[in-house]
Every structure is written in structure tokens, then in C-alpha cells.
Amino acid sequence: MMTIENKMQENYSQELEKIKQKALEEYIPIIMDDTLEVVDKILKEIKPERILEIGTAVGYSAICFANYLSENGKIDTIEREKERVEEAKINIEKVGMTSKINIYEGDAVEILPTLNNKYDVIFIDAAKGKYPFFLKEALRMIKPTGVILADNILYKGYVMSDYNKHKQRTAVRNLREYIKEVTENPNLETEILEVGDGLAVSKILM
């Protein structure tokens, strides 16, 4: 017999799968499965009260992360494309997570300096050329026990190769700068993982 909990779980899984498939069809760069697995593990351990995400897209990663929030936990997520914000809101509503996920619509470069919250986890997943700036803002708002994650840090392998002439070189230069800063910062313990498009995991050392 199917319990109400089973039924709800099944609905959630079906909705999430639809959101994922639609995003993939539309080439929206959602978090890759192996990256998500790593993030899930980290979140499971931390049970965050507050998560900040930079780059909502259609809400896929925020919805996945929301499952690991502590009771009354919340996610703040930032997206500058209006259409994506609208779609994210619909998706979040469909899975019943509206009370857990708050979207700021606008450019993170402008929104971040206006925020003054403290976060357990900060997930950077937006304009690659802005990663050093996002890091500076993340360091200002991360809790002393927190973790800063940066997706797409290896950018299709460009970051670790010496090929330096393609049109994405500003992005590559800034991703390299991010890696340099997180690895040299004595207050961080950083691992660069070759999952998905590359994930930087930086734990704050108290």
C-alpha cells in the first residue's frame, strides 16, 4: 500500500526530474549529477541553516539543496535574468518549497554588497569572470564553520590547460585567480575536485 509520504516523495521526484529534463533540453547549465552528489554529502554533514547561491537559473540546484536544510532553514539565491527568475519561482512552487527559497532578482555584483547575512554554505555558480569578486563577498558572509563552493571552476579543462587564446580568456583568468586565492588563503582549506565541470570546496578554518 502506498502511504501519503510515499506518494508525496514520488510527486516530488517526478517534478524534479521534469525540471531537470526541461533545463537540459534548453541548454541551461544546471549542476551536473556527480557534482551534486559531492555537494549533497557536504550538505548532509553540515545541515545548513542558511545557504547562499549565486546563480539560480531555473531553481534546480536550490531545490536539490533545500532538502538538506535544518528545520526552518532557508536559501537565498540570486539570478539576473527575469525569465529564469519567473521559471524558478514556478518550479519552486511546484515542489512546495516556496517558504524555503528566497530569490533575489538582479545582478549579483549589485545585490551581494547589500546583503549582511551569515551563511553556512555559499554556492558560487554564475558569471565566471566575477568569481574573485564573489569570493570576496562570500568571505565576508560565510560563518566561521562554513564552506564556500565554486562550480565550473575547471571550465571544460581550459583552466588547467595552457591554451590561452580563446574568447573565454577573461573567464579563465578570473577562475585561475579564484583558485590561487582560495589555495593561498591561510584561513581556507581548499580542494579542487574534478567532478562535473570542476568544483572548488573551501572549508573555513577557525
Binding-residue pattern over the window 87 to 126 for Mg ion, x denoting contact by CB under 5 A:
--------------------------------------x-
Tell me how far, at minimum, the Cβ of 70 lies from ligand SAH, in Å: 21
- Is residue 76 near Mg ion by the rule CB under 5 A? no
Q: What are phi and psi of 142, to 5 degrees?
A: -80, 145
Under 8 Å between Cβ of 132 and 174: yes
Tell me how far, at minimum, the Cβ of 99 lies from ligand SAH, in Å: 20
Q: Which of 152, 176, 198, 199 binds Mg ion (CB under 5 A)?
A: 152
Binding site for ligand SAH (CB under 6 A): 29-31, 55, 57, 60-61, 78-81, 84, 107-109, 125-127, 130
Terminal-to-terminal C-alpha distance of the chain: 50
CA atoms of 46 and 140, how far apart (whole Å): 19
Residue with cell 573567464: 171
Q: Which helix (H) or strand (E) holds 101?
A: strand 101-105
- Is residue 53 near Mg ion by the rule CB under 5 A? no
Tell me how far, at minimum, the Cβ of 52 lies from ligand SAH, in Å: 12
- Is residue 35 near Mg ion by the rule CB under 5 A? no
> Measured over all CA atoms, what is the biggest interatomic distance in the chain, rounded to whole angstroms?
61
User: How many residues of this chain bind Mg ion (CB under 5 A)?
Assistant: 3
The sign one gets for the Cα dihedral 198, 139, 87, 43 is positive
Among ligand SAH, Mg ion, none, partner that 109 touches (CB below 5 to 8 angstroms by kind): ligand SAH
Q: Phi-psi region for residue 115, left (φ > 0), alpha (ψ -120 to 50) or beta?
A: beta
200 alpha-carbon distance from chain centroid: 11
Among Mg ion, ligand SAH, none, partner that 152 touches (CB below 5 to 8 angstroms by kind): Mg ion
Tell me how far, at minimum, the Cβ of 69 lies from ligand SAH, in Å: 16
